[in-house]
């Protein structure tokens, strides 16, 4: 009896297991889906998930400069390559996680039209896009417009935003009649509708690579990354317009 009492006392005095904090740097287009997935993880695992959303280029540069992140999810393979080349991620953990589409959106429920009609649809208005020289959505958009012979016709009307969600907001608030965003962004914003979908061969394949950083200080980062290809995360991504590649 005395031994049992002592064991119980020792258990009571033992420190409780500490929940981990997982810091994620993620492309802005992932916000709605990843917020939902993170909330489910926190509830089931007890960990705190802190997510910083921005353009992939901005996040990559922050990691290269030593910003504390456990996991990086980019909307571009090239920016993940840049971080890998500078030693910022563990290449053994890298995987292509998601895919997406590129669409032209307008406010409300716009009539669908061939994307080649963009100049006429735009008129004198602005075309909202993410930064075309650095942010993946803007880079994909410029590439698609160029391949379709439209870039020279609309370049002067492009309103560039810091990231794809900022470009989406310009359309949703009526500041720009049309914008180029991801298909998942159109799903996330009820105030816009898809006017046209860009042909998949008009731009580089849209891929979201993910990897654990070399500065990660929690083993839960790898576990969280693994969970993103499994249920329930898989269904959340698919409901938001992404394709899960693994």
Structure confidence by residue, pLDDT tens digits, 32-88: 999 999 999 999 999 999 999 999 999 999 999 999 999 999 999 999 999 999 999
- Residue 96 pLDDT > 50: yes
SS3 assignment for 44-56: HHCCEEEEEEECH
Provide the whole-model pTM: 0.86
Percentage of the residues of the chain whose pLDDT score is greater than 70? 92
Percentage of the residues of the chain whose pLDDT score is greater than 90? 88
pLDDT of amino acid 217:
86
- For residues 61 and 158, what is the distance between their CA atoms, to the nearest angstrom? 25
Tell me the per-residue pLDDT of 2-28, one tens digit each, with 9 for 90 and over: 444 444 443 344 333 456 899 999 999
- For residues 162 and 200, what is the distance between their CA atoms, to the nearest angstrom? 24
pLDDT of amino acid 19:
66
3-state helix, strand, coil in the chain (%, to 5): 45, 25, 30
- For residues 167 and 161, what is the distance between their CA atoms, to the nearest angstrom? 5
Tell me the per-residue pLDDT of 228-238, one tens digit each, with 9 for 90 and over: 999 999 999 99
- For residues 242 and 171, what is the distance between their CA atoms, to the nearest angstrom? 21
């Amino acid at each position: 009896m005395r031994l049992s009492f002592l064991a119980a006392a020792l258990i009571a005095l033992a420190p409780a297991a500490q929940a981990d904090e997982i810091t994620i740097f993620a492309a802005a287009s992932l916000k709605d889906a990843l917020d939902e997935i993170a909330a489910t993880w926190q509830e089931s695992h007890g960990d705190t998930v802190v997510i910083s959303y921005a353009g992939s280029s901005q996040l990559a540069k922050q990691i290269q400069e030593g910003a504390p992140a456990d996991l990086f999810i980019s909307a571009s393979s090239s920016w993940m390559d840049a971080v890998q080349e500078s030693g910022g991620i563990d290449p053994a953990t890298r995987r292509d996680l998601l895919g997406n589409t590129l669409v032209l959106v307008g406010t409300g429920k716009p009539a669908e039209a061939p994307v080649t009609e963009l100049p006429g649809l735009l008129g004198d208005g602005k075309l909202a896009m993410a930064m075309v020289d650095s942010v993946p959505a803007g880079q994909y958009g410029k590439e698609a417009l160029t391949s379709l012979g439209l870039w020279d016709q609309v370049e002067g009307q492009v309103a560039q935003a810091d990231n794809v969600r900022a470009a989406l907001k310009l359309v949703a608030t009526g500041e720009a009649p049309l914008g180029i965003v991801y298909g998942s962004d159109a799903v996330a914003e009820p105030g816009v509708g898809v006017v046209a979908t860009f042909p998949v061969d008009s731009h580089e394949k849209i891929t979201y690579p993910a990897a654990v950083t070399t500065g990660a200080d929690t083993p839960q980062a790898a576990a969280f990354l693994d969970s993103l290809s499994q249920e329930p995360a898989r269904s959340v991504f698919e409901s938001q317009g992404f394709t899960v590649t693994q």
